[in-house]
Amino acid sequence: MTITLRLLCVVGAAITFLGMARQIKKAKIKIEDSIFWVLLSGLLLLIAIVPGIASFAAHLLGFQATSNFVFCALIAILLVKEFHNTMQISMLKHKVTELAQEEALERHERR
């Protein structure tokens, strides 16, 4: 892993963490929803500080370059996160429409 990539990882981790902290301060994100991002920034920092972990895993899985493994792992993590988000949005849509339906029916009864 090049020193540039390691530095980029540190910068990425810092931006992620500080961004999260800022949104929590502004009451825009719940603590429970920030955990993923805090862990992700921790992971980036770990990879930057101990690149041996990434190169060991890359070697084990047969990647030609450690950077390829880092990119691939990050994409996979983000895809899982996106899948989870889609699921949560679907559930929220469901809950919102259920609430609207109940509210509409209650209002009809009161009329």
Partner 1 sequence: MRVLAVIPAYNEEACIEGTVTNLVATCPDVDYVVINDGSRDHTEEICQTRGFNYVSLPVNCGLTSGFKTGMKYAKRHGYDAVVQFDADGQHLPQYIPDMARAMQEQGANIVIASRILAGEAPVGARNVGSKLISGLIKGTTGTFITDPTSGMRMYDRSMIEAFATGFDLSPEPDTVAMLIRKGAKVTEVPAHMQDRQGGTSYLDFTSSMRYMLRTCFSILMFQWFR
Give the range of 25-33, 56-64, 77-85, 94-102 binding partner 1 by CB under 8 A.
94-102
Closer CB to partner 1, 30 or 95, in the complex: 95
The answer to whether the beta carbons of residues 13 and 48 sit under 8 Å apart is: yes
Between the CA of residue 2 and those of 32, 38, 71, what are the distances in Å? Answer: 34, 24, 13
The answer to whether the beta carbons of residues 47 and 74 sit under 8 Å apart is: no
Q: Which of 61, 75, 84, 103 binds partner 1 (CB under 8 A)?
A: 103
Write each residue from 42 to 81 as x if it is in contact with partner 1 (CB under 8 A), else as -, in one continuous string: ----------------------------------------
Which distant-in-sequence residues (6+ apart) come within 8 Å of 95 by Cβ? none
Query: What residue ranges bind partner 1 (CB under 8 A)?
Result: 94, 96-97, 100-105, 107-108
